Structure formats: C-alpha cells, structure tokens
Amino acid sequence: MGSTNSTLSKIPNVEELMRETGFSPAHIVRLYDRFESLDKEKTGHLRPEDFGAINRQDTVDFHSFVRILAHFRPAENNRPRDPSLPEPVNSRISKLKFAFQLYDLDKDGKISRAELLQVLRSMMEMQVTEEQLESIADRTIQEADLDRDDAISFEEFRKSLEKVNIDHKMSIRFLR
Amino acid sequence: MQPDSCSRGFMERGFLLLVVLMFLEGTVFPLGAASSPDISAPDGAGGHERNDDHRGIDNYTFPKKAFPVLSLDYGHIQMPFEISLWVLLASLMKLGFHLIPRLSGIVPESCLLIVVGLLVGGLIKLAGEEVPPVLDSKLFFLCLLPPIILDAGYFLPIRPFMENIGTILMFAVIGTLWNAFFVGGLLFAVCQIEGTHLSQVELLPCLLFGSIISAVDPVAVLAVFEEIHINELLHILVFGESLLNDAVTVVLYHLFEEYSGAGEVTLMDAFLGVICFLIVSLGGVAVGAIYGILAAFTSRFTSHTRVIEPLFVFVYSYMAYLSAEMFHLSGIMALIACGAVTRPYVEANISHKSHTTIKYFLKMWSSVSETLIFIFLGVATVAGPHAWNWTFVSVTVILCLVSRVIGVVGLTFIINKFRIVKLTTKDQFIVAYGGLRGAIAFSLGYLLDKDHFPMRTMFLTAIITEIFFTVFVQGMTIKPLVDLLAVKKKQEAKRSINEEIHTQFLDHLLTGIEDICGHYGHHHWKDKLNRFNKKYIKKCLIAGERYKEPQLIAFYHKMEFKQAIELVESGGGVKMPAAMPLQVSMQNIQPKKQPPMAADRALPQFTKNREEEIRKILRSNLQKTRQRLRSYNRHTLVADPYEDGWSEYMLKKQRMIELEKKMTQMSNYLTVPAAPSDSPTMRRARLASDPNAFYTIKAPPGNVPTIQVELASPQSPDSVNLVDEFSKKGGSSQKNTDDRKEEQGRMMKPPSAGKGGKGEEEEEEEEGENKNPGLLRCLSDPGPSNEDEEDEPFLP
C-alpha cells in the first residue's frame, strides 16, 4: 500500500481521474505502471509508435490513456444510477459511442461509405478485392441506414447492434 | 378453418392412428417372439431339414414330399427384421405425435415416447411373450448414443461454448462430483438407519450409485430443451455440462466398480482417480481431435469422389468414439472434439450436396436414436426385474433434487465472481431444473455385475424412477415455468452483416486493448489461435485456394446466396419490399446517379465494368452455400429463416443482368411459357427428375416478355422478369462456351425452382405463404447430372 500511495502522489489530478473513470487506486497504479513500461522514452506521453496507434490523437498522456481504457471496464448494472451524475464512462452507451468514434474518422457524427470502406480494408488485410469490399459496404449501409442518408448515424449504429451483448464484448476483466 | 377441412383432417388423423395401432399389435408378436427362438422356428425350415436328414439317411424308402412353393423362414431374417420393425415403430410414433397438436404442446415428446414404450412392453407381456432386453448396454453405447452425440458435436456452436467454457467445466466436473458424493454419502447414511432394512448396502456401492445417477444426461437435455427454445447461454450451459460430465462419470464409475469388491478406497486410489480423470478427458479430446484432423485432411482430396464425402465424416467420427471407448477414455468427449474440429475444414472442402447430406443424415440418425432410446426405456421398465423399496427410491429422488439445487447455487456464487455477464437467479433455477437424467444412467446401471452387486435390481428401480421423475415432472413443467418466469428466449432472427462486421471489429479492438494492458485475456488467445489456424492449419486441411478467404467474405457470400434463394423461391412476387430501398440500391449500382423513375423509364445505362462486377458477384454468390447453422433445433432441417424485409440488392443485380442480356441476345433465348400448359406440380416434377428437360422447353414464338424496371409496383411482372432472366441465362448456355455451361449447370437449381414458383404464382393468385417445400426439394436435389459442376473455386 505504501508504494501505491507514493505512486498515486506522482500523478496529478488523480482524484478527479478516479472519480471520472471509476477506477480504484490499485487499478490506477497498475495502469500507471503499464503506461510507464509502454512509454519507453519517459516523455510522459505515448506516441503511435509505442503501440501502433489505436486512436486519433498523436500522443496520449496518462489521463487520456486511463480515460480510454475506462471504456472497457465491465459495466455494473446493479447499482442504480443517479440520474444527476453524468453517464458513467463504461456504460453501454459510452462503449458504443467509443466504438462509433473509431469508425467515424472525420468526426462528423456519421459513418460514411468511405469511412466504412476504410475500416473494412484495414480489417481484411488485403485479402479481398476492392469490389467485394464495396459490395459489403453497400450492403452494410443498406441494412443499417434507416433514414436513407447513405451514412450510418450513431442511433442507427446503436440500433443495429442492439442484439449484440456489448457489455460482454467490450469489457476486459482485468480492469474491473 | 372450414369445418369440412377440419373434419377431413380429423378423419385422416384417425385413419393414421388406426394404422399405427394395428401396426403396434402386429409388431408385438414378432418382437415378443424374438426372445423365444424355439417357438419362432417355422415349420417350413424344420420340414426341410427333416426331409434332408431323412433323405440322407434313407434314400429309398422316404416318400418324396411335394415341392414347397411357399415357405416361411422367419429365423433367417429375424434380427434385421426386428431392428427395422423397432425403427419403423419409432418413426411412426414420431409422426403420430405431431398429428395431435395439443398433446405435443403440453407433453414433451420424450414423455410420450416413454409411454409408448411402456405400452409396447405391456402388450408384449400381455401376449405372453418375454420382453426382449432391448436397452442392452452394448447396443446403447455403441449404436444408439453415438449419432446423437455426433449430431450435437458437429453442430455445436463453438463461440458461445468457448466463451462459457469455464462455467461449463465448473458445473460439469465439480457439480457432478458434488452430486455423486452428496447423494451417495447421504444414501449410505440413510441405509444405515435401523428401520429401512437396507443395512447390507455398503458405502462403495452407494457411492457408485450416486455417481451413476448424478450425471446430467445429454439425450434428455437435448430432447426437452429443444422444445422450449431457451436463450443460447442457458442452453449451452446445461448442454455443455451434460456433455462434459461424461469424463467424470466414467472415472467415478470405474473407480467405484473396481474397488467395490475390495471394500475400501484409499487416498492413493483417489489420487490415481484424479490422474485418471485428466487422462480420460484430455485423452478423449485428443483422440477426437486427431481423427477430426484426419477427416479434414481426407476431405481435401475428395473433389473427384463427391458421393462418399459424407461417409468420411461419419466413419472417422465413429472410429474416434470407438477408439476412445477402447482405451476407456471418454467417448463422448472424443466425438464432440472430432465433430467440432472437423466441421470448419470439411465444410470448406466438400460440396454443397455433401454438406446437405451430412446435415440431414446426422439429424435423421440422431432423431431416430433418440426416439428409440426413449421407447426402449419404456420397454425396459416393463421388462426389468424390479425391487421396489420405498425408502431408497424416495430418498434418491429427493436427494438428487436437493443436491442439484445446492450444487448449482453454490457453484454459481463462485463462478459469478469471475464472469462478466453474471448468472441471475432465474438462470440458476433453469440450470438446476434442467438437470435431467436419462438413459445413460440406466445403461450404466444395467452394466453392473449381478454377482458383485446384489442390490442391482434395487438400483435399477431407483434409477428408472429418477429418470421418470425428471423426464416427466421436470420435463413437462419446465416449459410453463420458463414462460412464467419470463426467461429470455432464443433470438430467432439471424445475424445481420452489420453485426458481423462490428463484432469482428470489436474483436480486433479488444485484442489491441488487451495487448496494451499487458493482459493476456480471452481475446488475446483467441486471436493467437486464429492466426495459427490461418497460417498453418488451414493451408494443410483446406483444398485449393479457399483457405485465404476471410471469414467476413464467407459470411457475406452466405447472406447473398440465402437472399438469392429466397428471392427465387418466392418467384420475386410475394414479399417485395417497399419501393424506397430500390432507389437507394439503384443509386449504389449505377455509376451515373440518375433519379429513379416510373415504369416507362428507358433501360438504365451502366458501364461494362459494372456489368462485369455484378455478373461476377452474382456468379460467385450463387455457388456453393455454406449454411451456417445457428441453432441446433432438431426440428428445423431447413436452416434458412426468411428475412422480413430483404434488401433489394440481389434483385437489382439480377435485373441488371437480365437487362444486359436482353441487349446482347435478343434473339436467342428460351423462355418459360408464360401460361403454363401443364400444372406447376407436374412441371416441377418433370424438372426435378430430369433437369435437362429444361433445355427442351421451346419458347412459344413471339413471346417476348417486356422487361421493365418497375420500381414502384413490384408485382408479378417482376417475377416474370426474374424468371425469364434465368431462363435466358439457361438458354444462352447452349450457344456459349463450356465454362458458361458449367455455370449454367449450377444455375439450374434456382431456375427450376423459380419456374415452379412462378407457375404457382400464376396459378393461385397471390400466395401469402412463400414457404414451398416442393421448391426446397428441387433446390436441394437437382439430380445427378450436376455432380461435376461443384469444382469451381469458391472465390472467382
């Protein structure tokens, strides 16, 4: 516990971080250790080269690191949520929003066909032809697109995934 | 429902029931007579023998008997005849139950079958014959059980199984151990009580009994859970537990049986038992996996002998089971492992028809097996020597229930600490209540040696009572309870491509996140396994270039194919989605974004590249289908649920093709006669029996169907277009080169079905029902001439 406290004191604004993300002090410390091991140059920031970027920012400091990972905490359904508090970071909606943001590269609130194609391309790893990708993208948009604007908004995205157990899929037990 | 059709249906049902009952009567005597071979020796054969003997001894004085024109020789065919008779009885029973709709809704099939077995056994006994020992352990374990387990293993939904493997193993291993010791120990304690007169029952036989009766039975679970359509998680939990507890049961059974004679089990024996358990379970899985890989490897080379492809799957799996049983490993686990390992690779290699064959055969065999097992249970109940002991039996039943509940609750408490999606109380109740015992327990009890276990008959009685209790009481009440508790039911809708894409995407994402956290979790290992699979295994086991195909593409093709089939089956007429989607897809396809117009619009223009692409996509989509079975409900052999509002994409593509065909080959087409001269059934029959008949249909001259891109009102003109497009494709094959012909050969299936469907459309105005069994038969059975066309690579 002693080391925990000393590590905690090194991190600025740690209470606010804990409150925002819901992580326990032990978790924060664990993540900090991990962050430091990833941050090979000890700059206090992680660059895409450090782990082969997962999000849009060029660098990630510890707070963002923790915030992003907070999305993957297993959700707690039992605790009745206080409606005055903001939506917890690891609720289903937040997780879905996070996933949506990964698709929506230009951040216009919609997944356009081009963005979808890009995601598909990166997932398929060059094993399929462009035409097949386009067919799949067309089909995907057709299925999900309810308001016929040829793009998938967040609502449509959420609706198309309502049968999938997002809580299960986007949770890592480690971060409980 | 009209009153006359109702009464007609009633009469038909009554007639069939009468036939069934007469048949029952008729079968009683041969089946009963089977057990007493002396009586069944017919006169003719005996007469023959006597004649020959006499003739041999005394050639001259014996008068020549008249040449027997007709003689009866039952002994000659006795064994196969009886077997066939039983199978026929079982199948007729299955037919009969579905004729009485209310009954099959209330009472699960397994109960009805046991009752039938009781009836048959009773009839045999009444007839004075000795009831044959039908549930012989050898017959059961070697013939009746494997098909059911193979069916379960082959169609096991791997993903939910693996996701919950920890929970399943906990229930299977620790739950069964707990049950066995709890029941056995407490039974022994009860037996020691003065008033029960059971003091001669020692500890070890009690524990043996406990281990026999504590195992949840896969057959019973399958039979009952199938009908209640519970959600996937609970189904896989209970079912997985019933499969995996076989290893525990095997070890405990052998352990206690071995040492019952010696009278004690030392700590060393217990330790050896644990080792034995590991060997039994892991060894069984290993044996199954080896045979599975062999089967997959063999299937790589079967491209020229498609007809025997299913045989490899069946024989390798059966051999896996037998090999495991030879070493006293867990045969069930071997079979499951074999089926699960074989399936992904074999399915990529074999033809569509072989896949259908495997599916149908497995379902058929497992269905018959299950029916037979339950009937035999009934017969064996009547037959077996019974030693009823109120105390023993009632205590057994109560203890089994109690131990199951305590076990499930206790284990769930521990398991929930490790699960992300926790098991609620409702889930726990269903898991506990669904722990049915079945024929495996009975057969294991039957195997007991009479000399070593003098109380064998009492055990058997208790086992049978327990089985009856669980199957009847729990089986019948679980359905209303599920409804009462509003337990989540199975989701019937199939996966959309959105879900597939996003799920895969999330998998990738989670793997990355886990890497970042430095946490080697679920996704990490799954990803590693997938990579290993792709890199090494698929290359060895999958023929041709197919191993490179990513899962998403396969899924996409499956969906498209399914849609094409649905489209064709309904003749394109009945279930047409709204006009709006048409516009969207039109825009997607056309390079020039022309606004969609009304019916009198000119033919749309598109580039050659686009045509080519569409044609290629269509050709590849209409190739082999790999229908992924999403749920293993035995009653749905046709695993293609109809989508509610399909996208127009396929229709658009086909329309494009027909349009470009029209442009290039105006004069060389064969069309289906617009007004059918013969009834659709006849035409379907003709086409189904001889696909080549398609080529001989001449177009009535001057019958040029107008092709209109009708967007607003997709009614029967579209169906004409669709079918004509196919027919034109077929017609053009005679002029084109051979490789086109191959494609046409494959395209035969939809056209023949489509024509039949279209004919039906025209005959009867507008059918609300678009499920047409005739079409499906056409589709799945195009005839032997198409055998050679299956060799096209999956990806164009």
Residue B135 clears pLDDT 70, i.e. is over it:
yes
* Residue from A133, A152, A172, A173 whose CB has the most chain B CBs within 10 Å, to mutate: A172
Can you tell me the mean pLDDT for A86-103?
Answer: 73
Phi-psi region of B42 (alpha: psi -120 to 50; beta: other; left: phi over 0): beta
pLDDT beyond 50 at B701 = no
Q: Quick one: average pLDDT of A148-168? A: 76
**Do B498 and A140 make contact, defined as CB atoms within 8 angstroms?**
yes
pLDDT value at residue B110 = 86
- Which ipTM score applies to this complex? 0.77
Give pLDDT tens digits for A28-84: 777 777 777 766 666 666 655 555 444 444 566 777 777 777 777 766 654 555 555
SS (H, E, C) B283-341: HHHHHHHHHHHHHHHHHCCHHHCHHHHHHHHHHHHHHHHHHHHHCCCCHHHHHHHHHHH
Select from A135, A170, A173 the Cβ nearest to the Cβ of B506: A170
Query: How confident is the model over B686-703, as a mean pLDDT?
Result: 43
What's the Cα-to-Cα distance from A133 to each of A157, B549, B556, B588, rounded to whole Å? 19, 13, 10, 13
- Does the structure show a pLDDT above 60 at B679? no
Given this model, what pLDDT does residue B624 score?
Answer: 43
Per-residue pLDDT, B563: 76
Mutate to test the interface with A, among B588, B593, B618 (most CBs of A within 10 A): B588
Q: What is the DSSP track for B239-278?
A: HHHHHHHHHHHHHHHHHHHHHHHH----HHHHHHHHHHHH
pLDDT at B710 (0 to 100):
38
Pairwise CB contact (< 8 Å): B550 & A127: yes
> Which one has a higher pLDDT value, A74 or A142?
A142
Contacts of A145 in chain B (CB under 8 A): 584
Question: Is a pLDDT exceeding 90 seen at residue B794?
Answer: no
Residue B743 has pLDDT above 50, yes or no: no
User: What does the longest C-alpha to C-alpha distance in chain A come to?
Assistant: 59
* Nearest one of B261, B255, B292 to B274, comparing CA atoms: B255
pLDDT digits (tens, 9 = 90+) for B354-406: 888 899 999 999 999 999 899 888 888 888 778 888 888 888 899 999 999 99
Which chain B positions have a beta carbon within 8 Å of A173's beta carbon? 418, 420, 521
DSSP B627-671: -------TT--S--PPPSS--SHHHHHHHHHHHHHHHH-SSS---
pLDDT at B544: 62
Contacts (Cβ under 8 Å, ≥6 apart) of B199:
B191, B192
pLDDT value at B70 more than 60? yes
CA distances from A85 to A19, A171, B705, B707, B716 (A): 11, 22, 66, 61, 57
8 Å CB contact of B517 and A172: yes
B53 and B62 in contact (C-beta within 8 Å)? no
Of the pLDDT bands very low, low, confident and very high (cuts 50, 70, 90), residue A127 is low
Is the pLDDT reported for residue B38 higher than 60? no
* Rounded mean pLDDT, B617-632: 53
Contact A64, B526 (CB under 8 A): no
Q: Ranked by mean pLDDT, which of A145-149, B39-43, B45-49, B167-171 comes out on top?
A: B167-171
The torsion region of residue B269 among left (phi > 0), alpha (psi -120 to 50) and beta comes to: alpha
pLDDT (mean) for B497-515: 74
Under an 8 A CB cutoff, do A169 and B503 touch? yes
Tokens 């017959």 correspond to B139
**Pick from A69-73, B286-290, B385-389, B545-549: least confident:** B545-549
Of the listed ranges B262-276, B426-440, B507-521, B587-601, the one predicted with least confidence: B587-601
* pLDDT tier at B326, thresholds 50, 70, 90: very high
Sign of CA dihedral B152, B153, B156, B160: positive
Contacts of A100 in chain B (CB under 8 A): none
Q: What is the mean pLDDT of chain A?
A: 70
A-chain residue closest to B588, CA distance? A138
Choose between B287 and B610: higher pLDDT.
B287
Q: Quick count: other Cβ atoms within 10 Å of Cβ B15?
A: 10
Contacts of B497 in chain A (CB under 8 A): 136, 139-140, 143
Looking at residue A90, what is its pLDDT?
Answer: 62
Q: What is the mean pLDDT of chain B?
A: 70
pLDDT at B506: 76
Residue B334 has pLDDT above 90, yes or no: yes
pLDDT above 70 covers a percentage of chain B that reads 60
Contact call for A135 and B497, based on CB within 8 A: no
**Which two three-digit tokens encode residue B512?**
């990355």
Residues 6+ apart with CB under 8 A from B56: none
Among A98-107, B6-15, B135-144, B226-235, the minimum mean pLDDT is found in B6-15
Digit-coded pLDDT (tens) for B185-244: 888 888 888 766 767 777 888 888 999 998 889 998 988 888 888 888 888 999 999 988
- Across B457-461, average pLDDT: 87
Q: At residue B570, does pLDDT exceed 60?
A: yes
CA distance A143 to chain B (A): 7
Between B52-66, B258-272, B498-512, B633-647, the lowest mean confidence (pLDDT) is in: B633-647
* pLDDT at position B518 over 80: no
Range in A96-105, B211-220, B387-396, B547-556 the model is least confident about: B547-556
In this prediction, residue B596 carries a pLDDT of 39
When pLDDT is cut at 50, 70 and 90, the band that residue B409 belongs to is: very high
Query: Element (H or E) spanning B581, and its range?
Result: helix B579-589
- Residue B62's φ and ψ, nearest 5 degrees, are -75, 125
Is residue B179 pLDDT above 60, yes or no?
A: yes
Provide the 8-state DSSP code for B702.
T
Residues A162, B279: Cα–Cα separation, whole Å? 43
User: What is the rounded distance in angstroms from the CA atom of residue B188 to the CA atom of residue B64?
Assistant: 71
Residues 12-41 of A with CB under 8 A from B: 31, 34, 37-38
Q: Considering only residues 86 to 145 of chain A, which have any Cβ-Cβ distance to chain B shorter than 8 Å?
A: 99, 102-103, 119-120, 123-125, 127-128, 131-132, 135-136, 138-140, 142-145
Q: How many whole angstroms separate alpha carbon B627 and alpha carbon B137?
A: 36
Mean pLDDT across B452-474: 87
Arithmetic mean of pLDDT, B522-548: 71
Answer whether residue B255 shows pLDDT above 80: yes
pLDDT of residue B403: 93
Chain B residues closer than 8 Å to A161 by CB = 498-499, 502
Q: What are B113's two structure tokens?
A: 């079958």
Alpha helices in B486-543 (DSSP H): 497-517, 522-532, 538-541
Yes or no, beta carbons of A172 and B510 under 8 Å apart: yes
pLDDT average, residue stretch B647-654: 60
